Chain A
Amino acid sequence: MKKTIALLLCLLLILALAAGCSGGSDKKSAGVMTYAEYVAADLDSKVVIETYVQAKQSWWEDKATVYTQDKDGAYFLYNMACSEADYAKLVPGTKIKVTGYKSEWSGEVEITDATFEIESGKYVAKALDVTKLLGTDDLIKHQNEFVAFKGMTVEPIQDADGKEAAFLYKWNGTGSEGDDLYFNVSLDGKTYNFTVESYLCDKDSDVYKAVKNLKVGDKIDLEGFLYWYEGVNPHITSVKTAK
């Protein structure tokens, strides 16, 4: 009996440790909001969160734009006060405490006028498969998260002249190499517009090159951040042939 209890206790301990390392909710420091509290907070209210850097979009004149996420949800940090030296420290997984204001711009909920401090801790999110949520009201619940779309089909996209292509430089094809890439993908008869944000993934990145090689009809799996601009507008970071 003792042996059984000891075994059970060990098992519970292992499970608890595993949950603490890779899943479950984040334990927040004093005065820091949980993700649920952040979601419930009014727009334009002050928010204090702890989160983990997942990717960096840009740094300019001591302001950084960063994709972050904890184990419960994601936070997009727009133009956060950040020195160039600190920006270099914001590698994926870095834990930061952020103080700013919850804002909304064109449907994208983000934290603006923020400051941050680096804390100890590390977490890199795995892409959450949201393929089934496309076109549903539940998709927005995962706004800004690192997500995956599986088995999508590349559809033609029309440029400003009405010409069809597999991708465009800029939203209407008026751009050139180095600009954002726009392309359409479909699932179950519905078409969605995705973006390779050139500040996040520049022309030398694998995803930029992969999108340039897409052909209409290709079946692909994608990963990226679930950004919003007047509707869902994922910033894609990976494109691979569908498995």
Chain B
Amino acid sequence: MKRLLSFLLILMLVPGMLLLSGCHGSRSLPDFVPPEQFDESRSYTVTFWAKNDTNRTQTRIYEQAIADFQALYPNITVNLRLYTDYSKIYNDVITNISTNTTPNVCITYPDHIATYLTGSGTVVPLDELFDHPDYGLGGAALRFSSPREGDVVPQFLAECAFADHHYAIPFMRSTEACYVNKTFVEAMGYTLPEILTWDFVWEVSEAAMAKDSQGNFRVNGQKVMIPFIYKSTDNMMIQMLRQKGADYSTPEGDILLFNDTTRELLHTVAEHAATGAFSTFKISSYPGNFLNAGQCLFAVDSTAGATWMGSKAPLMDISADRVVDFETAVLPIPQFDPQNPRMISQGPSICIFNKADPQEVLASWLFAQYLLTDGVQTAYAETEGYVPVTRSAQDSQAYRDYLSRCGEDDLEHYDVKIRASRLLLDHVGDTFVTPVFNGSASLRDAAGQLIENTAKSVRRKETVDDGYMDELFRDVSSLYRLGSGSTGARKDLGPLPGTAVFLLAALAAVWILLLIWWILERIRARKREKGS
């Protein structure tokens, strides 16, 4: 009887095991448990996927950081793979999750991590590692001076916490700035305020559309003028909504983007896109190209793109003969309430992918943490309008000296770049991030798509009215698979698949057989007791 039962058990369990192991084409990894000690008798290879901005100096800083780290930990080899686009990293990671071939350490956005987390145990929660007495932040056994947890700017660190854990550490932070052709704006008779308002930007932009009798724009004497160009329209919509205190999403992932305030904002966008006073990167091109050619007054782009902005910018995509000389003002993005400015906090973060070997994960963590050391932080921040994410790097003599030399030259100390960094340093308390959940990356895309579609439609002489908005909301919601009230993550998942039903039925059958066997054994035992 026992043999029969064992056979039945195996028969039931084997298909179940097969089903589990074959699930989604990948093996789920065990939860990472931090080792007490780092085993330095072994060698480790850590793959690091990073982003640079086609900036040679950034590449060198990564390479130097790796060389310095490897000198401290000769048993760890770090292999660098560079990308120039966050979305490409995201796509590659998604592809590699299914085959358990993710990198060890990866530069990424929290929105992307939320998607990575749909793979079981894919991304390592870092909370226990933060607190590790020997290898945590400021840990006793580290061979470098690591920042303590409180030393990482709390707001930046908080941006990496979602789903009850820290799944990343911040690497660099930036925000958006409005790069203004101050010379032209003042020539039009306007005085730039310290904080731009949306009304001011729209008013000046419309005024700049005036032409002379030859059909040239009066402000620049050229045939081309797009007074206001926004690079990232997703940020534009998100920040406008936040400034107005309007809904976007809940932390739990309820989609609230498609509301009346959004509708009102899109009507404003339509009004100014129709006159040609407003356009976007996707429709026209990089704001910096138009700004530097004297064909744009207000160019909104990341502070991390500051080296492309201004007539003396070290990086330029247009030929020298097209560059117009002007003074560049670097201001916060336009606001609805200038007394209470709100702007997005963005920039790369670092996550660690789980592996079967906890020691390999610990090696990854050591390298990730090394990227927070003062030398790496200040060096990388100085390549663009970034800001270091640790207090110690921000307060370091080297960084203070760098900031104080604003405008000394048009390369390392290019004034627009340093003023862009200062903008964020002065407004850290005014920054915000949007909630992170599975689907938040799609919601962000949808926010931008609303503006892009509206601007394109009015340029194409389509009627943009409430009916248009209803249809736009439906189309964009459908395109990005956003339910009207919640994300796909929370929707009804429908009936169980057949394989799952079979597995559950098999398990139930096994338990029933075990119960029958136990009852039979008990009956036999009693009979034996009575017989004796």
Also in contact, A106 and B460, with CB within 8 A (given A174-B52, A230-B317): no
Taking a contact as CB atoms under 8 Å apart, the answer to whether B289 and A230 are in contact is yes
Given contacts A174-B52, A174-B54, is CB(A106)–CB(B456) below 8 Å? no
State whether A106 touches B285 (Cβ < 8 A).
yes
Per-residue interface assignment for chain B, residues 449 to 479, with 1 indicating a CB less than 8 Å from any chain A CB and 0 otherwise: 0000000100111000000000000000000
**Interface: A161 (CB within 8 A):** yes
Report if B442 contacts A (CB, 8 A). Answer: no
**Shortest Cβ gap from A178 to chain B (Å):** 12
**B460-A44 in contact (CB<8A):** yes
Please provide the chain A residues from 75 to 118 with a CB less than 8 Å away from any CB of chain B in the complex.
Answer: 101, 103-106, 113
* Residues of chain A within 8 A of B59, CB atoms compared: 174
**Chain A count of residues within 8 A CB distance of the other chain:** 22
Given contacts A105-B284, A106-B289, contact A172 B54 (CB under 8 A): yes
Enumerate chain B residues within 8 angstroms of A230, measured Cβ to Cβ.
285, 289, 317-319, 322
Are A171 and B289 neighbours in the complex by a CB distance under 8 Å?
A: no
Closest to A172 in B: B54
Within 8 A of A (CB), among B51-67: 52, 54-56, 59
- A46 at interface, CB cutoff 8 A: yes
CB pair A173 B456 closer than 8 Å: no
Q: Does B286 contact A (CB under 8 A)?
A: yes
Q: How many residues in B have their beta carbons less than 8 Å from beta carbons of A?
A: 20
Instruction: Report the bound CA distance from A174 to B58 in whole Å.
Output: 10
Majority-rule SS of A interface residues: loop
Please report the C-alpha to C-alpha distance between residue A44 and residue B460 in the assembled complex, in whole angstroms: 5
B308-322, CB < 8 A from A: 317-319, 322
Instruction: Report the minimum CB–CB distance from B452 to chain A (whole Å).
Output: 11
The answer to whether B56 and A161 touch across the interface, beta carbons within 8 angstroms, is yes
A/B interface sample: 20 pairs, CB < 8 A: A44-B456, A44-B459, A44-B460, A44-B461, A45-B461, A103-B283, A104-B284, A105-B283, A105-B284, A106-B284, A106-B289, A170-B84, A171-B54, A172-B54, A172-B56, A173-B56, A174-B56, A175-B54, A230-B285, A230-B318
Residues of B within 8 A of A (CB): 52, 54-56, 59, 82, 84, 283-286, 289, 317-319, 322, 456, 459-461
Q: Which residues of A contact B (CB under 8 A)?
A: 44-46, 101, 103-106, 113, 159-161, 170-176, 229-231
8 cross-chain pairs, A with B, having the tightest CB-CB distances, nearest first: A160-B56, A106-B285, A44-B459, A174-B54, A230-B318, A44-B460, A174-B56, A230-B317
